[in-house]
Amino acid sequence: MKTHKINNTKWFLDDNELIVALSNLPLQEEVRRGYFTCDYKAGKVFVKFFKEKGIYGFIRNKVSPRGRKEYLAGKTLLALSVTTPKPLGYGVSDMGSYIIQEQIEGDTFVNVFLESKDRSGFLLKLADLLRTLKAQRVVHNDLHLNNIIIHNENLYLIDLHKMQIKRHISLKDETSSLSHAITMLYGDMTEDEKILFFIRYGDQNIRMLVEEEMARLWGRWIRNKQKRAFENTSKMIVRGKYVCMADVEIPVDSEPLQLIKKDKKIIVERHADHIRKYYRNRRRLKLAWKNHVALKYLDLCVTPEPYLVKHPSLFSWGYIAMKDLTGSGIELDRYLDKTYDRMSRGEKTAFIEEFSRFLGLLFKNKIAHKDLKGCNIFVLNDGRFLLLDVEDILFTVIDRERLKRMLVQLNTTIPKRISIKDRIRFYLKAVKGIKIDKKQVFEDVQKESLKKEIVYEGVSGLQRESW
């Protein structure tokens, strides 16, 4: 290994020719983590910068720079016959460190898997990789599927600076690695694919532990995103008393054009280019915004698009500004009251298919709603659906009791004339991916619904009906 110095960076390189490429690279050390590529011989190299902050970061950079750790980890994996981009060197400066490795022109495992016609083949490759890591006592410590790149159908493990080689792989290590690895796609896997994966991995009995760990990891991830809902992040920008979505510009000073709703809890106003929902209760305001932020990180467009939140003051309520849905659709109860009788059999079937797919998407992502009435589901003109009253969203496993409660709420807040056959078709499709006693839940929903009055908002106003 050759040592070179450019400005304040000391480079440790396997090949002297790399120094020419690095000399022409526009390195920017003010960013938290920078990514650069440059030409090298017949191909390209990839350079990643780790910026260090604070006393701990300063010490770590002196004792064990992350660029050096990733360089050594890459060498170790290649010696163990685990594919990873070839490490070519590393660099250390006062502000952080660099890793230099060959550039792999590929895509993440998640993207390839979801678009592939050979999903089973890629699952087998993933199982083989995880089994190899276990056999070699490798713990990656950040093994999500964006850290596995696919190039020419080969799997490359990347982002290695947290990797460890352990003397012994405990059950906890194994469960954690598997959970981190497959959690991003597990909800999209069929039951047959899940069985195939664990058979190939070589341990079907570990599946239950992995699923429990994935639920715990998912809950922790959601809570971490919600905790940062009022901070500067890649998704949000703090501007004084406002927190704005980073990709949206909305005027904060504008006059209301229409009062839509006013009660003791909320005020809803229409402005020129957005809706404002004011909350008297600060806790519910914070909860609504936290839920919006979590959904933003999940990349799920299942609520009206949020723009910003304004903190409450001593003399004013806080509010959330969001997209104005005027003219773009109607609430589910009014939609069904208006259109159900005019639908053809094919149109009813298509509507049930789309609506059950929407609820299935929520259930798959462990999203529940404490007040799943017809008036809290918005039917867009393009056939999509949105949840209203975002403060009532819960991120939780959909168990039997919660599912029953939501379906009873829905069942008793849509017109009575929706046929039993259509209700059953919807139910069977919506709960298809949930591990419950579907027959028992259906009987419970039917029994509980019959005890209640049907109440919904129709096109001519509030309607009350008996079964």
pLDDT at 29 (0 to 100): 53
- Give the residue-averaged pLDDT of 362-383: 95
User: Which residues in 205-243 are b (16+ Cβ under 10 Å) and which e?
Assistant: ebeebbbebbeeebeeebeebbeebbeebeebbeeeeeb
Judge whether 239 and 204 are in contact, CB under 8 Å: no
pLDDT at 317 (0 to 100): 95
Q: Give the pLDDT band (50/70/90) at residue 157.
A: very high
What sign has the CA pseudo-torsion 222, 224, 227, 231? negative
Cα atoms in the Cβ-side hemisphere of radius 13 Å centred on 134: 19
pLDDT at 27 over 70: no
pLDDT at 34 over 80: no
pLDDT at 288 over 80: yes
Angle at Cα 311 formed by Cα 305 and Cα 316, nearest 5°?
Answer: 115
pLDDT at 33 (0 to 100): 54
What sign has the CA pseudo-torsion 411, 412, 414, 419? positive
**Which tens digit of pLDDT belongs to each residue from 101-132?**
999 999 999 999 988 999 999 999 999 999 99
pLDDT at 137 (0 to 100): 96
Each domain of the chain, given as residue ranges in start order, spans 2-102, 107-227, 236-322, 329-465
Angle at Cα 280 formed by Cα 277 and Cα 284, nearest 5°?
Answer: 75
pLDDT at 336 (0 to 100): 97
Judge whether 49 and 31 are in contact, CB under 8 Å: yes
- Give the residue-averaged pLDDT of 81-88: 95
Q: Give the pLDDT band (50/70/90) at residue 198.
A: very high
- Give the residue-averaged pLDDT of 36-54: 87
Of residues 197, 182, 216, 193, the one with CA closest to residue 366: 216
pLDDT at 279 (0 to 100): 96
Architecture in CATH for domain 2-102: 2-Layer Sandwich (3.30)
Mean pLDDT over each residue of the chain, to the nearest integer: 92
Distance, in Å, from the CA atom of 145 to the CA atom of 159, rounded to the nearest integer, reads: 11
Distance, in Å, from the CA atom of 291 to the CA atom of 410, rounded to the nearest integer, reads: 21
Higher pLDDT, 249 or 104: 104
Residue 91 burial (CB count, 10 A)? 25
Q: Give the pLDDT band (50/70/90) at residue 17.
A: confident
Angle at Cα 282 formed by Cα 276 and Cα 283, nearest 5°?
Answer: 115
Q: Token digits for 162?
A: 């947290």
pLDDT at 84 over 70: yes
Architecture in CATH for domain 236-322: 2-Layer Sandwich (3.30)
Among the CATH numbers 3.30.70, 3.40.50, 3.40.228, 3.90.1200, which is that of 329-465? 3.90.1200
Question: What percent of the chain is predicted at pLDDT more than 90?
Answer: 79
Q: Give the pLDDT band (50/70/90) at residue 4.
A: confident
**Which tens digit of pLDDT belongs to each residue from 222-232?**
999 999 999 99
Judge whether 302 and 362 are in contact, CB under 8 Å: yes
Q: Provide the residue type at 201 as one letter.
A: Y
pLDDT at 26 (0 to 100): 66
Q: Token digits for 186?
A: 């597990």
- Give the residue-averaged pLDDT of 459-465: 95
- Give the residue-averaged pLDDT of 383-406: 95
- Give the residue-averaged pLDDT of 288-311: 95
Fold entry, domain 107-227: Transferase(Phosphotransferase); domain 1 (1.10.510)
pLDDT at 181 (0 to 100): 94
- Give the residue-averaged pLDDT of 202-213: 94
Per CATH, 2-102 and 236-322 having the same topology is answered: yes
pLDDT at 3 (0 to 100): 87
pLDDT at 129 (0 to 100): 96
pLDDT at 31 over 50: no
